[in-house]
Structure 1
Amino acid sequence: MVCQECKKKQATVHFTKIINGEKIELKLCESCAEQRGDLDFDGQQPFSVHQLLAGLLDLEEMPNVKGQTTTSNAGICKNCGLTEMQFAKIGRLGCTQCYQTFGARLNPLLKRVQGRSSHNGKVPKRSGGDIKLKREIEKLRESLNRYVIEEKFEDAAVLRDKIKALESELTQGGGA
């Protein structure tokens, strides 16, 4: 997208300003954004997604006794050798084993950023009936567990019956 001010450079700053309930959206290049004065970076470069990840993972470089920099939460993937600091800098994991190595640290991050730590994807409306039924059963089971913990046994019994009905529908192939 081209800058809305100079109409020459690539827009890299997406700016939203709300004043008295009126929303103004601008897509500007860095130089036009700085000239407008709406953005104040105090002479520093704006942070990147990688810096955001590093901040969310609490990965900060700390000098050790010998003057070398280390991380407070150093973890290394045994398969590809990727460290948490390298992950924070590049913003990508190195291999599938990294998910097991860094999983305990990534799950809270994913929950904060996405709301969930697992990816469910979308199900097509015309197909995927079994998948929809399985997801509905999973949601009902979560609610059932919550009701049991809260000792709402009547509500739990209703959900239990719904789950049984959906499971029998699933085994009979009624979801397709």
Structure 2
Amino acid sequence: MLCDECKSRTACMHIIKIVNNQKTEKNLCAECAKAAGEISLSFDTQSYVHDFLKGIFNHGLFVDPQMLRGQESCSECGMTYTDFNRKGKVGCSACYTVFGGQFEPLLKRIHGSSSHTGKIPKRNGGTLKIKQQIKKIRQQLEQYVINEEYEKAVLLRDEIKNLEKEIGLSGKGE
């Protein structure tokens, strides 16, 4: 298929834009796509992902200026949120604890949730499995309360208390 712009080179990308509920589609070659500003070409996938993340942050979609004022830095690697914003990658695992509040909107936007909902490792996954079970039971409990099925709700409440005791939460919600 030939490029819709130059009509001489082979199109290598299909671009779909929706603006004001108007859908436009184009088949472009790499040169025309770059010239039109549709993409910044980078064939190094690692830098492509970092450029993508930098682009998200630099457009102000997830950066709260109030959070940047303190310039808190990670105690393990010394990285600041501004460094993360510039590089597009986290310095170490401790950064997730230090910058957790700032990462949460990004994780929710990209993954739909900021908590793990995938597979649980067989070893060392017992507590996590029980926490997920408690979360599901709480959702079911809310439905019973909404439907005014209080007898069933009481049973679930007791089940939650037992599970919390099992993992040592002693009644504290997550």
- The TM-score, its normalising length taken from structure 1, stands at 0.52
**Is 2:83 the counterpart of 1:86?**
yes
Q: Which residue of 2 aligns with 1:120?
A: 117
**Aligned counterparts of 2:28 and 2:96: Cα–Cα separation in 1:** 36
Q: Which residue of 2 aligns with 1:56?
A: 61
Contact 2:14 2:25 in 1 (8 A): no
Count of aligned pairs: 134
Contact 1:59 1:72 in 2 (8 A): no
Unpaired runs of 5+ residues, structure 1, are 41-46, 61-70, 124-130, 168-176
Change (3 A) 1:100 1:38: closer
Matches within 5 A, 1:30-69: 31-33=31-33, 48-54=52-58, 55-58=60-63
**Aligned counterparts of 1:161 and 1:4: Cα–Cα separation in 2:** 65
**Is 2:16 the counterpart of 1:16?**
yes
AA aligned to 1:50 is: K
Q: Which residue of 1 aligns with 2:93?
A: 96
**Is 2:148 the counterpart of 1:154?**
yes
Q: Deviations over 1:1-54 (max 9, x none)?
A: xx963238xx5x65114699877464641x21256x5959xxxxxx84213135
**Aligned counterparts of 2:55 and 2:97: Cα–Cα separation in 1:** 22
Determine which structure has the larger helix proportion and give its number.
2
Please report how far the alpha carbon of residue 90 of structure 1 lies from its aligned counterpart in structure 2 after TM superposition: 1.5
Contact 1:107 1:117 in 2 (8 A): yes
Q: Which residue of 1 aligns with 2:104?
A: 107
- The TM-score, its normalising length taken from structure 2, stands at 0.52
Change (3 A) 1:132 1:77: closer
Contact 2:18 2:24 in 1 (8 A): yes
**Aligned counterparts of 1:83 and 1:137: Cα–Cα separation in 2:** 35
Q: Which residue of 2 aligns with 1:72?
A: 69
Unpaired runs of 5+ residues, structure 2, are 4-8, 40-50, 121-127, 163-174
Change (3 A) 1:143 1:26: farther
Q: CA RMSD of the aligned region, Å?
A: 4.5
